Amino acid sequence: MSIEVRSVSKRFGSFQALDDVSIDVGSGSLTALLGPSGSGKSTLLRIIAGLEEPDSGEIRLAGEDATVLAPQKRGVGFVFQHYAAFKHMTVRDNVAFGLKIRKRPKDEIGGRVDELLALVQLQGFGHRYPAQLSGGQRQRMALARALAPEPKVLLLDEPFGALDARVRAELRAWLRKLHDETHTTTVFVTHDQEEAMEVADSVVVMNGGRVEQVAGPRELYDAPVNDFVMTFVGEAIRFDGALVRPHDLELSLEPGEWTREAQVERIVHFGFQVRCELVDEDGVELFAQLTRDQAEELELEPGQIVFVRARESVRRPGVGVGGELPNVGG
């Protein structure tokens, strides 16, 4: 089912959560809403689900106006960051909830619940209560619960945000696989650009209640439309007046054309990659990303003087000229 968001605005008191937002989510796609906290991404998701009403604008689901349609009638599955498990029900009853509400026959419910518990690998956990499950298990239960009534759209609000890194990685891969099998239109909210890039076909970058760019992961990284997207998606540093990726900096021991002098402050090893932290001739801190081989060839050491220049292909003025580097990413 396709989702169209048309000029949606939403205000909470004096805070403009969404400011004239329009996006299209194609039927069967897997879309990420990516942005820092307060960017409006969760509000947008909740408006699509019908959990919030927009102040103005329109939501169309499968081409039909659904702006004031109750959440019960939208045919969406919603997964919350903190699971929203029904604490007083067993895992089985949680998963069966949407089916019982629809008054499906008992044996049909039983069969469907078994199927879903198998899908989320919670067979044998059916009689436990949510309090007896780990965070990852609870979120898988919440996914099974959302999938049970066969929603036409699956909406996930920072679904893996409360989980530790390993479980998060597992569930990401699992979500991708699930989508590839079922092709349910899926939209998920995340502030983690890596998660968005890894899982989604299409990424909607949001900031300050507005959409900055909608693109596939690769295009987003290679052709960001502005400084915000450049710095929020992947790492970026300001070098010689332009925003560049740290792996687009070249280091040499001799001065040359386009180079700036800098002193090595610290060298950090991340396995195959080496991050070289520098202070340039104007006292500006920056860092370059090298491979381990490159770093070894230069025999880099703290205190050493090196000459830095941007790779030729990226030697261009900053996309949005001037301005401070937004304080995001790390």
CB-count burial class (<10 Å; 0-12, 13-18, 19+) for 5? buried
- CB-based burial label for 268 (10 Å; 0-12, 13-18, 19+): exposed
Please choose, out of 14-22, 84-92, 111-119, 266-274, the segment that lies near other proteins by the rule CB under 8 A.
84-92
Shortest separation between residue 163's beta carbon and other proteins, angstroms: 17
Q: Does 49 bind other proteins (CB under 8 A)?
A: yes
Would you state the torsion angle of the CA atoms of residues 5, 56, 77, 37, taken in this order, to the nearest 10 degrees? 90
Residue 84 engages other proteins in binding (rule: CB under 8 A): yes
Q: Which of residues 149-168 bind other proteins (CB under 8 A)?
A: 149
Instruction: Select 145 or 179, whichever has its Cβ closest to other proteins.
Output: 145
- Looking at the DSSP assignment, which residues form a beta bridge with residue 288? 276
Among 68, 101, 173, 279, binds other proteins (CB under 8 A): 101
Tokens of 18: 């969404």
Q: Which is nearer to other proteins, 131 or 165 (CB)?
A: 131
Report the DSSP beta bridge partners of residue 202.
31
- Partners of 306 in beta bridges: 262
What 3-state class would DSSP assign to 304?
A: coil
What's the min distance (Å) between Cβ of 39 and other proteins? 21
Among the listed residues 25, 65, 60, the one whose alpha carbon sits nearest the alpha carbon of residue 214:
25
**104 contacts other proteins (rule: CB under 8 A):** no
Return d(Cα 214, Cα 4) in angstroms, integer: 14
15-23, 79-87, 258-266, 293-301 -> range binding other proteins (CB under 8 A) = 79-87
| Residue 78 touching other proteins (CB under 8 A) | yes
221 binds other proteins (CB under 8 A): no
CB of 219 to other proteins, least distance (A): 32
Residue 243 C-beta: closest distance to other proteins, Å: 39
- Is 39 in contact with 208 (CB distance < 8 Å)? yes
Residues that bind other proteins (CB under 8 A): 49-51, 70-72, 74, 76-78, 80, 82, 84-89, 97-98, 101-102, 131, 142, 145-146, 148-149
